[in-house]
């Protein structure tokens, strides 16, 4: 029996585990994939305080994981089912069943898809959602980045080290990304822009050869392709969807995001939610870590208030 099980090992979950473990609570963090969550696949995280020397997303993830492991157990298993009701909660993974008095949900979010013809067909062979993972495969090619938020612009900048050119395709003519990030792409001579445009179709044979764009204002179609038939790379960064499927029907949500109060408590006693999993407005690594800290503090208070 654990005091706390943290489901998900991104910045929110690793911080919750770190704080819970340091409060001498028996803590288990269950991560299905790679510790660090979305930041592990981010090229650089330059706005996480103290992350100056090695600001790669992977580097920061590894440091967070190492620190959490000093105080909490970390296992890499896929959670299939949870029972959140009652004083003892259960978590079933592919290989084990665990029990705990408190559950902290930090399952994060996953990338949103374009949902256009050709996207699924070319996923991982021309269409990618991770610049650090796949950037090197596009060395010397023309790269197209879809999206106008921080992720799209930061990753577009990063991809200029590989691509012959990088073009940002955005559905408006103003970016959602923050000021410095917008300045960086606008000042990068390798970056071009296709404003007011959406991708309608991704075409090719073995690799992506053509992109069909539509101008949302004029409805005009534009086909992007290289005359010599050389392939192109498409990177999609159009936001995220909360990974809360296993909690559906078990906990209050809005648009897939779990509802909490400011102490990260859900409506179920002993169940907390943190980071990109919960309904909130500012989604940053640092706010995810902050959520994790708050949840661990209030989980500790909850445990102290009970006579087990
Ligand atoms: P985001 O901020 O939600 O931006 C998504 C972008 O994709 C928007 O520009 C949106 O256009 C566009 N978009 C959405 N659906 C689309 C569709 N179907 N077709 C074409 N374009 C579409 O997502 P994000 O950039 O992944 O960032 C997620 C969160 O993480 C944000 O809170 C962000 O600030 C944060 N983040 C922070 C950093 C950092 O601080 N270093 C880095 C990465 C991410 P519209 O603008 O027209 O809606």
| Structure confidence by residue, pLDDT tens digits, 29-54 | 999 999 999 999 888 998 999 988 88
Q: What is the pLDDT of residue 297?
A: 98
Choosing from 130, 150, 276, 291, the catalytic residue is 130
Average pLDDT of the chain, as a whole number:
96
**What is the mean predicted confidence (pLDDT) over 56-75?**
97
Quick one: residue 139, left, alpha or beta (phi over 0 = left, psi -120 to 50 = alpha)? beta
| Structure confidence by residue, pLDDT tens digits, 6-16 | 999 999 999 99
Q: How, if at all, do strands 79-83 and 240-242 pair?
A: unpaired
Count how many residues are written for the chain. Answer: 308
Q: With cut-offs at 50, 70 and 90, classify the pLDDT of residue 125.
A: very high
Give the DSSP H/E element, type plus range, for residue 290.
helix 285-305
Choosing from 3, 33, 115, 134, the catalytic residue is 134
Smallest CA-to-CA distance from 232 within 185, 188, 192 is with 192
Q: What is the pLDDT of residue 206?
A: 93
**What is the mean predicted confidence (pLDDT) over 278-288?**
95
Task: Give yes or no for a contact between 210 and 224, defined as CB atoms under 8 angstroms apart.
Answer: yes
**For the chain, what percent of residues have pLDDT higher than 70?**
100
147 lines ligand 1 (CB under 6 A): yes
Residues in Cβ contact with 259 at an 8 Å cutoff, skipping those fewer than 6 apart: 252, 253, 266, 267, 278, 279
Q: What is the pLDDT of residue 280?
A: 96
Check pLDDT > 80 for residue 92: yes
Q: With cut-offs at 50, 70 and 90, classify the pLDDT of residue 71.
A: very high
**What is the mean predicted confidence (pLDDT) over 90-101?**
98
Q: What is the pLDDT of residue 307?
A: 78
Check pLDDT > 90 for residue 303: yes
293 catalytically annotated: no
Nearest residue CA, atom 14 of ligand 1?
238
Q: What is the pLDDT of residue 46?
A: 87
State in Å: Cα 240 to ligand 1 middle: 8
| Structure confidence by residue, pLDDT tens digits, 173-216 | 999 999 999 999 999 999 999 999 999 999 999 999 999 999 99
Atom from ligand 1 closest to the CA of residue 154: 42
Q: If you write DSSP's letter for every residue of 209-264 in order, what string do you get?
A: EEEEEEETTT--EEEEE-TT---EEEEE---EEE--GGGTTTS-EETTEEP--TT-
Q: What is the pLDDT of residue 133?
A: 87
Q: What is the pLDDT of residue 53?
A: 82
284 lines ligand 1 (CB under 6 A): yes
Handedness of CA 175, 290, 251, 248 (dihedral sign): positive
Nearest-angstrom CA–CA distance, 194 and 210: 15
Among 238, 240, 285, name the best residue to mutate to test ligand 1's pocket (greatest count of ligand atoms within 8 A of Cβ): 238
Check pLDDT > 90 for residue 124: no
State in Å: Cα 149 to ligand 1 middle: 4
């Amino acid at each position: 029996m654990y005091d706390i099980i943290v489901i998900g090992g991104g910045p929110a979950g690793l911080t919750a585990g770190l704080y819970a473990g340091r409060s001498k609570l028996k803590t288990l963090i269950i991560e299905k994939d790679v510790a660090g969550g979305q930041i592990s696949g981010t090229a650089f995280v330059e706005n996480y305080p103290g992350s100056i020397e090695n600001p790669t997303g992977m580097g920061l993830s590894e440091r967070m994981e190492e620190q959490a492991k000093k105080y909490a157990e970390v296992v890499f298993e896929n959670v299939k089912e949870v029972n959140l009701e009652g004083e003892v909660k259960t978590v079933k993974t592919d290989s084990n069943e665990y029990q705990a008095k408190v559950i902290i949900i930090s399952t994060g979010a996953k990338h949103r898809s374009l949902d256009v013809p050709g996207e699924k067909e070319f996923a991982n062979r021309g269409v990618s959602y991770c610049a650090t993972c796949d950037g090197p495969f596009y060395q010397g090619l023309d790269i197209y980045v879809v999206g106008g938020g921080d992720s799209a612009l930061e990753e577009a900048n990063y991809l200029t080290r590989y691509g012959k050119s990088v073009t940002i395709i955005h559905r408006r003519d103003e970016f959602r990304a923050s000021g410095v990030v917008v300045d960086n792409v606008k000042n990068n001579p390798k970056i071009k822009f296709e404003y007011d445009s959406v991708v309608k179709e991704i075409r090719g044979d073995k690799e992506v050869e053509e992109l069909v764009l539509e101008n949302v204002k004029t409805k005009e179609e534009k086909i992007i392709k290289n005359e010599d038939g050389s392939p192109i790379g498409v990177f999609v960064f159009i936001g995220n969807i909360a990974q809360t499927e296993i909690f559906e029907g078990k906990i209050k949500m809005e648009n897939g995001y779990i509802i909490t109060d400011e102490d990260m408590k859900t409506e179920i006693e002993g169940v907390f939610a943190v980071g990109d999993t919960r309904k909130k407005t500012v989604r940053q690594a640092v706010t995810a870590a902050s959520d994790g800290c708050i949840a661990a503090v209030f989980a500790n208070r909850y445990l102290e208030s009970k006579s087990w």
